[in-house]
Structure 1
């Protein structure tokens, strides 16, 4: 099967694989245990390493950010790559080198660095992104996309009453996730808290892993609206607080806010 035929109709990568007795059979007769194995080992030529799962998830998150425009360049570097500019640049150039990014119509660029760092997903990249989304590990919770849209609208210059309605709708839709940011008011204190599930106990309970107080309700809501728009990152930020402590999450969020250009971005 010719490669140019594979992505007609923007189908998920691997739609041409056939289910056989021993696994999935590709167009060269090779047998794979999963679609991701066929992509990682067959398409990209990587060995079957134990950390492939984490690399798949990193690809998914970076490509999702590029496709949906949820991250600015500096924010993406600060959050997904923990501020490591060299890793961020390498990863983007690597995505371009394997055809995931549309660097130029003819594949040739006068400035390959800038084109790779600024490019969006190619047709192949969108196809691979769809495959990574539909084969995502079950422990990674699917996002309620309606809630994401509502959260995005909460920071679009609407009036105070409309923003409050948008945030309340978001809070209703988001439900109880493993890691949940929430607005709280305790006396005269205005807080944003992060709760997570206790691991290893017979009866799981929710505990506050991080909190930040604000001078007034508007400042608290500005922070919560910014967090709500990035709900796809909550589980990672919750794990960071769990592993390294609340202070580390505070410093990380501070750097990401700066990278995003402020709470209004």
Structure 2
């Protein structure tokens, strides 16, 4: 029997409810298909931070680095600012383990009613691929002249060719493997006049390597409208960290609930455990 060692981090809020049930489901699936699991639980959370002053120990990443995967629930709870809880727990895992793909399916499931009129099972079935380690969610920046009229706040978006190309390659490969062979890029090059034109250039360059994949792009504002009005248009949607974050919640909401939409923080090369 093949066995996997899984680090379990229930985290906060709903995570404490759904992760134990998820473990039960995986155990049942394992018994059916001959897969074993060894579960190592870690209490890292906002509650942990209130007791220890940090979301996880200093050697936290080292403690889970050798696991096959991390089963993570949720992060964030009243009493700890959201930007603190996220940047002390989930972001270190994403960057420390180079989990550059955030992948979320958007699918209208049996028994779930979409808030969109007339939609039925099979009408909504696509993937959102989000760049997960750079882009708009940068730690480059700062605040000066705090509390004065000159107070200034700067946070820099960072797009690298390596980071942009690898997420686009993953998205194009996914689109290539699907029957529709259709990729949509989220952009906003009429607003972000440097980073988004660069993103668009890299999309075109990558598209040239996948002539069998139909490629289109929309500015993020109208793209959100199309998600609501025409979710059947989409197959694989790829976006930067910020745009992918927004779309990966909006898409499942169009299927009735984000509560049953899983997501993966993935290192495709398997150099580190995915979350």
Query: Shorter-chain TM-score category?
Result: under 0.3
Looking at secondary structure, tell me which structure has more helix per residue: 1
Give TM-score scaled by structure 1 length: 0.26
The structure that has the greater radius of gyration is: 1
Give TM-score scaled by structure 2 length: 0.25
Larger RCO (alpha carbons 8 Å, 6+ apart): 2
